[in-house]
Amino acid sequence: MTREFTVNAVRPDRPACRFDVLSHDIALMRVMAATVVSLGKRTRVQATRRLLDELRVVLADVTLLPPSALPWNAVRIDRTNRSWESLFRLARLLMGRKWQATGHDAQGAAGTSLLFAMDKLFENAVAALMRRALAGSGIEVVAQGGLRHCLGAWHEDEPCEGNVFQTRPDLRLRRRGKIIAIIDTKWKRLSTDPLDRKHGVSQSDVYHMIAYARLYQCERLMLLYPAVAGVGSGKVRRFGVHDGAEMIAVALVDASFAPATLAPALLSLVDGLKFGFEMAAAR
């Protein structure tokens, strides 16, 4: 007010005001910049690394400090930066290497809820373990892929070339370039009712396997389900396809066991598909 009525008294077009000069280089942003750089060194996914590089460009004007010098105590979360609160907690968790577990710990640091696509996690785990089990056997484990189409335009006296309704089997076992088995993993609980002849296997899953047998000219197929923890792995039943030579096995794998135990169990399940040659000879 003093400056308004003295210095600016003869200049009514110039109101006196006081303001803060905003800067990116504050304690909160220094923590975020250090976290972005640290995560960039750890990630193995190219898409994640690219996003972190973009964030590093956004934070280019922020002073980069080593983890030991980060101003954690200088950060104050209030109404002006409340939207950063969860990110700040996550940064403290990651930079402090306080890895959160899946169990509850009342004394542990506040963590972040994690949601996994268990069907994909189960599929990838089985693929990795099966590659380990079949190493040196001459059998190649191929995850996903295939991508053959079920249907196409129909022309009389001409073979159909599929171009719609694409298929994507979870796992294909190949030997000398030929598909010898197809395995689909299902993150579902099978029925424990001894009177259930289908064992809880859904009809749509069976249709998928029959389509795979036809499209990929494969006679050995398996639906692989997770077992109840501690029960162990094993075959549930083998089904044959009406008027065909195809065999569809239904099996369980106990994912709670250690990898060293799971690999031989998966090898036994694969061996039970009866390829027409001895697995021992293949190895």
Total domain count, the chain: 2
Whether residue 59 is found in the same domain as residue 124: no
The predicted-structure confidence for 151-199, as pLDDT tens digits, reads as follows 999 888 888 888 899 899 999 999 988 999 999 999 988 887 878 888 8
The predicted-structure confidence for 114-144, as pLDDT tens digits, reads as follows 788 889 999 998 999 889 888 888 899 999 8
Whether residue 152 is found in the same domain as residue 255: yes
Whether residue 129 is found in the same domain as residue 82: no
Residue 111 domain-assigned? Answer: no
Owning domain of residue 61: 2-95
Whether residue 228 is found in the same domain as residue 276: yes
The predicted-structure confidence for 226-247, as pLDDT tens digits, reads as follows 988 777 788 888 899 998 899 9
Q: Cβ(262)–Cβ(255) under 8 Å? A: yes
pTM attached to this predicted model: 0.65
CA dist., res. 237 & res. 240, Å (int): 10
281 has a pLDDT exceeding 70: no
Whether residue 144 is found in the same domain as residue 41: no
pLDDT for res 8: 79
Residue 104 domain-assigned? Answer: no
CA dist., res. 110 & res. 101, Å (int): 11
Whether residue 224 is found in the same domain as residue 268: yes
Whether residue 273 is found in the same domain as residue 141: yes
Residues of the chain with pLDDT > 90: what percent?
40
The predicted-structure confidence for 61-103, as pLDDT tens digits, reads as follows 999 999 999 999 999 999 989 999 989 988 988 888 776 666 6
